[in-house]
Amino acid sequence: MNIDLSSKTVLVTGGGRGIGAAAVRAFVEAGATVGLHYRADHAAASALANELGDKVVLLQADLAQAEACERLWREAVERLGHVDVLVNNAGVAVGSPNEPDSQTWLSDWERTMAVNLTAPGLLCRAAVAHFKPRGGGRIINISSRAAFRGDQPDYLAYAASKGGLVALTRSLARGYGKDGIAAFIVAPGFTRTEMAQDFIDQYGEDYAVNDIALSRLTEPKDIAPTLVFLASGLADHATGATIDINAGSYVH
């Protein structure tokens, strides 16, 4: 099936690397114009934008700051003209053992929640306000298998934030479906990204491979086609659903 998104504009947060970069590439290949958000790595984001051409618009923001989230949405609408699809992909996974002092643990918790849950909440809120007068739109929130099966003790905040993202997405789907707004959850398992490298370094790649049903770790390119499909409108009656992409390591 060839999906044509040539009439669509998409905002992808965390689009400079990993799952986000694979998503940006896949959306452009399907014809979409993409707002590529990045936080700090301008070189990587710029290199990808230069490779893909004038279908990509670079947008910088630190999503740990609420005002930056709101500015990002305004700039995306201004520079793209409008937004049809929001992909909340940006996230952090901060390892925070229980041993540090309470202030360190709380700081790690608050940063994780700010980026992984508050920022998507603010962007979803802005997207709904933008979508409603336009007759609808689509929101794709990248959660994690950790939202459903939990995570290592060092990553309590990560799992909790991704669980909150699931509840947020389901609420959006239930609340705004009649406004033409569909919302989906994509829940990857362990995926070979730069963000996952700390985990690999700590626990070893064999730990991750032995936890899945397939013979290799999931790559960002294994996730991107599902995002294109969800953005196309062909799956709108699955609004509120979770799509598990975790190589059979957790099925719920």
Catalytically active residues are 158
Location of structure tokens 């990993």: 18
- The CA-based angle 12-151-195, given to 5 degrees, is 40
Cα–Cα distance, 138 to 3 (Å, whole number): 16
Cα–Cα distance, 133 to 112 (Å, whole number): 32
CB 116 within 8 A of CB 162: yes
- CB neighbour class for 125 (10 Å; exposed up to 12, middle 13-18, buried from 19): middle
Q: Count of alpha carbons within 13 Å of 228, Cβ hemisphere only?
A: 23
- DSSP code for 195: T
Listed residue (5, 71, 77, 4) closest to 35, CA to CA: 77
What does the block give as tokens for 38?
């990045």
